Structure 1
Amino acid sequence: MTGSDGSEKKAVPTAAQKRWLQRGLDQAGGKLPLFDDEGRQISVRTIRSCVAAGWAEPWFSNPIKPDWLVCRLTAAGAKAAGSPKTA
């Protein structure tokens, strides 16, 4: 991301994005959840914005629910989530 003065700016995740990304830190392959701890579906907007920022990447298609976007954490996502190591 480039600022108005031409300098590079690093994107910072919102609180909701960071919570979602952190949930992938302890999962095999960095799998990110489709639902929060209370069983509510994660906002598609949160998921898509994290993919656009490079913090998450689509992992595979769900044949039963093709509209669900199953993602996994990227190395940049692990760093944005506060992990000292990469995914």
Structure 2
Amino acid sequence: MAVSRRSGSRRSPSDVQAAWLRRGLDQPGGKLPLFDERGQRLKKATVDACLKAGWAERWFHNPLKPDWLVCRLTDAGRDALTAPTPAANETEDDARQGALI
């Protein structure tokens, strides 16, 4: 059975998505790049998944390149990057339980 992917429903971005989103952390307005570190255009599926999850949003329309999605990082995207992963929480819980024994 498929899980619905409404805005913010996915718990954390994939490694590729997180790498793209992280690049907006230090940019004015949270602007996300159109190209990866090697100068290759980002896969549309990566951008679309982040838009659908609410981690990024369309910023403005580029009249010179109407097919390019100019996006920026959202607050939900920042939260997704800084939220602890379940594995980290389990490790902390295991450490606490070990300390109690």
Where do 1:48-63 residues align within 5 Å?
48-63=48-63
1:80 deviates by 1.4
Unpaired segments of 5 or more residues in structure 1?
A: 4-8
1:37 deviates by 1.0
User: With structure 1 as the length reference, what TM-score do the two structures score?
Assistant: 0.81
Any conservation in 2 of the 1:55–1:78 contact (CA below 8 Å)?
A: yes
Count residues in correspondence: 76
Unpaired segments of 5 or more residues in structure 2?
A: 4-8, 84-101
Alignment partner of 1:16: what SS? helix
Alignment partner of 2:82: what SS? coil
Alignment partner of 1:34: what SS? coil
From the superposition, tell whether residues 49 and 10 of structure 1 become closer, same or farther in structure 2 (CA, over 3 Å).
Answer: closer
Structure 1: distance between partners of 2:10 and 2:33: 25
- Give the AA of the match of 1:48: D
Specify the alignment match of 2:13 in structure 1.
Answer: 13
Deviation sequence 1:38-81 (CA, Å, 0-9, x none) = 10011110001000000000000111110000000000101112
1:11 deviates by 2.4
Alignment partner of 2:26: what SS? coil
User: Quick check: which one's helix share is greater?
Assistant: 2
Runs of 4+ in 1 over 3 A off after TM superposition: none
Q: Supply the RMSD in Å over aligned alpha carbons.
A: 1.5
Structure 2: distance between partners of 1:81 and 1:41: 22
Any conservation in 1 of the 2:12–2:81 contact (CA below 8 Å)?
A: no
1:10 deviates by 4.3
Identity %: 55
